[in-house]
């Protein structure tokens, strides 16, 4: 393999791994940084009032006849508050698990493709020389095959 192909492969592999790590780490970190602000906003009385008004509207709409039956949410708190307070760690673990496995597998696929492409680029000169050496052998095989075909037809 040529020096240039090896360097390109290493740079491309490093870029794929860096992208995978960024996709793995950045979203949970951003959620963690903004979680406190969101919880603070959801703890305000206005948020609870809005949620109570929404539940009241759903109760009124569930009594009506129509094509869509509305269900009254069971939670007394807004779902975003419950998610951020009770299920945040589970969401981060699920993100890291799924992106880690799927992104890692995809990174391996890309690295394998890059390795194969770099190998083909470096072997082009030797492949052409090998084909030129094999040409006389193939012609001889064709003549023998023609003779066998003629014998088989008789």
Angle at the Cα of 56 from the Cα atoms of 87 and 78, rounded to 5 degrees: 15
DSSP-assigned states of every residue in 41-84: HHTSHHHHHHHHHHHHHHHHHHTS-SSS-------SS-HHHHHH
142, 26 in Cβ contact below 8 A? no
Quick check: 45 and 81 in contact, CB under 8 A?
Answer: no
Note whether 80 and 51 are within 8 A (CB). Answer: no
Tokens standing for residue 139? 């012609």
* 72 contacts 58 by C-beta, under 8 angstroms: yes
Token couple for 39: 């919880």
Residue 29 banded pLDDT, cuts 50, 70, 90: very high
- Residue 121 above 80 pLDDT? no
pTM of the model: 0.61
121-149 average pLDDT score: 61
What are the domain boundaries of the chain?
3-122
Residue 146: pLDDT over 60: yes
Convert the pLDDT of each residue in 73-84 to its tens digit: 888 999 999 999
């Amino acid at each position: 393999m040529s020096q240039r192909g090896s360097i390109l492969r290493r740079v491309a592999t490093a870029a794929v791994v860096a992208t995978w790590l960024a996709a793995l780490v950045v979203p949970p970190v951003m959620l963690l940084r903004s979680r406190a602000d969101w919880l603070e906003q959801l703890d305000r009385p206005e948020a609870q009032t809005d949620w109570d008004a929404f539940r009241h509207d759903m109760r009124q709409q569930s009594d009506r006849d129509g094509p869509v039956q509305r269900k009254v949410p069971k939670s007394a708190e807004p779902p975003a508050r419950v998610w951020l307070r009770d299920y945040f760690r589970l969401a981060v673990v699920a993100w890291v698990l799924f992106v880690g496995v799927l992104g890692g597998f995809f990174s391996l696929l890309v690295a394998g493709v890059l390795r194969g492409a770099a190998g083909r680029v470096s072997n082009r000169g030797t492949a052409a020389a090998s084909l030129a050496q094999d040409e006389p052998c193939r012609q001889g095989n064709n003549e023998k095959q023609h003779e066998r075909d003629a014998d088989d037809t008789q």
